Amino acid sequence: MTAMTSFTDRHNRTYKTYQQKTQVTCGPACCLIMWANVYHADPIADEGGVIGLSKAYPKPWNASTGAEINNLSGVLRSMAVPNQVETYSATGDLRAALHQRVHYGKPALAFAEWEVDAAVVGHFVVVGYADARADQWTILDPMNGPQETTGIPAYYPITDDADPPVLRFTGAVAFVI
């Protein structure tokens, strides 16, 4: 069983979250976070189990490039988390979709990118709360910990780094259905 930690946001909603084990396991970690917040329990699986499930779908997780959202969508379905991947090219459409479809017990897996040494690096997070009108978002980030933020599609995680990353959501999202 994967031990999750609890986080209560300013909206008094409690989420289960998890810290990824390596630099490239954000995708598998997010699958565990998604499952835990859909079923309100600690998952029996661990990152290794999620990685194993990933091999049954196209473009499986690998130690060099990590995961791909359509692959993780298949993994989530095999973990009994029905979901649908959608991609939004317009910021307003992404914000509206998150606002309409993210609810307590129905988080969304989202893909973001940032630039590191002139290379683009991808990162998965889970959106647990989405209020586009108030511009308030709860992000369950397996690398940086849970965050409450504004300004989506840009995401500025609070970290101990001297030069923290600025992530930009790509518009690729897996919604629980």
Q: What is the CATH number of the domain that holds 58?
A: 3.90.70.10
Run means of pLDDT, 10 residues per run, the chain, 177 residues: 94 97 96 98 96 97 94 98 98 98 98 77 96 98 96 90 86 97
pTM recorded for the entire structure:
0.95
Residue 130: domain span:
5-176
Total structural domains within the chain: 1
Which tokens go with 74?
Answer: 């298949």
CB-neighbour burial class of residue 143 (10 A; exposed 0-12, middle 13-18, buried 19+): middle
Give the integer Cα–Cα distance in Å for 142 and 101: 21
Identify the three-state secondary structure at position 177.
coil
